[in-house]
Amino acid sequence: MGRITLEKVTKSFGEVNVIPPLDLEINDGEFVVFVGPSGCGKSTLLRLIAGLEDVTSGAISIDGTDATGLAPAQRGLAMVFQSYALYPHMSVRKNIAFPMKMAKIPEDEQKRRIDAAAKALNLTDYLDRRPGQLSGGQRQRVAIGRAIVREPQAFLFDEPLSNLDAALRVGMRLEIMELHERLATTMIYVTHDQVEAMTMADKIVVLRAGHIEQVGSPLDLYHSPRNEFVAGFIGSPKMNLIKGEAAQSHNAATIGVRPEHIAVSTTEGLWQGTISVSEHLGSDTFLHVHEHGLGDEPLTVRVGGEIPVKHGDRIWMTPDQERMHRFDKNGLRM
């Protein structure tokens, strides 16, 4: 069981208030992703839950019991660090066994759990190696193995994939998701990569400067972002945010149109612009359009498949009115 509740939690480092009063509810078995730009306090929040930092005020409860003052080890949580934080002088086996050794679990039970974890994570052949002799992905799996054997109430991941190369990242992402399906344990995952957030989460928590901007399922956030920040942060490529006359004609301070919700034509449409860069990915083509008379920012447009346009071409664009997002002058959704 891993129900985690944060009540009016704050954190200050000296004068600097990193987390203003914050409430959050994480249900048992949920995969929750904290996402936000660098320095938004998402890692601090995770460390507060882990107990590596003390809250300045407020309360954290795990499974209904107050854990605010508990030491990290007593909270029943396991953490996977960005640098993996493996113990370099211990073999993989000893690394994985370490938390169980500290908890004084009997030897044969330790061995059973190590073998099970190693089998699940494809580490059986590497148990006697040192972390220094493993690849990045293998080290990552050892770190996860060390977390699994504790049979924790919740897993905490602190940007675990950011040190891996792109191909490995996709693979590990799938492995972590499979792990979640299999264990059905609460997982809290911190990342600044919104693709990871969208693909993995049951629930995304978007943070900015310690504030929770929005909490919801990935598609909630995609379809109805609560404000301009969330709108701009979730989705790839970024949503086009247009101010000025075009927005006023829709009675809004800003309108947002996702690149995939703009139809492109070489002959007619609502807006006209000049292509500066076209990125051909095969499956999609991303066009960056300038001189569209809608502000200084270039518009990004996604076209499915290929389209025979190049730098300097004039094109017409028509936004999908149904899927247009309108924001008031405070940036809130209308």
Shortest separation between residue 288's beta carbon and other proteins, angstroms: 39
> What does the block give as tokens for 267?
């002959």
Shortest separation between residue 143's beta carbon and other proteins, angstroms: 8
Q: How many CB atoms lie within 10 A of CB 241?
A: 18
Shortest separation between residue 14's beta carbon and other proteins, angstroms: 12
Shortest separation between residue 322's beta carbon and other proteins, angstroms: 47
CB within 8 Å of 12: residues ≥ 6 apart: 18, 56
Shortest separation between residue 150's beta carbon and other proteins, angstroms: 8
- Measured N-to-C along each axis, helices 92-102 and 136-148 cross at an angle, to the nearest 10 degrees, of 20
Query: What is the torsional sign of CA 321, 294, 236, 229?
Result: negative
* CB of 129 closer than 8 Å to CB of 162: no
Task: Supply the DSSP string of 80-108, one letter for each residue.
Answer: E-TT----TTS-HHHHHHHHHHHTT--HH
Separation CA 135–CA 92 (nearest Å): 12
Which of 21, 72 has the CB closer to other proteins? Answer: 72
Which of 68, 272 has the CB closer to other proteins? Answer: 68
Which of 61, 82 has the CB closer to other proteins? Answer: 82
By 3-state DSSP, what share of the chain in percent is helix, strand and coil, each rounded to 5? Answer: 30, 30, 35
Shortest separation between residue 106's beta carbon and other proteins, angstroms: 16
Which of 158, 228 has the CB closer to other proteins? Answer: 158
| DSSP at 128 | T
Shortest separation between residue 52's beta carbon and other proteins, angstroms: 5
> What does the block give as tokens for 58?
């407020």
Which of 98, 222 has the CB closer to other proteins? Answer: 98
Separation CA 281–CA 278 (nearest Å): 10
Residues that bind other proteins (CB under 8 A): 50, 52, 71-73, 77-79, 81-83, 85-90, 98-99, 102-103, 130, 146, 150
Which of 47, 288 has the CB closer to other proteins? Answer: 47
Which of 82, 162 has the CB closer to other proteins? Answer: 82
Question: Of how many residues is the chain composed?
Answer: 334
The end-to-end CA distance of the chain, in Å, is 39
> What does the block give as tokens for 109?
């039970």
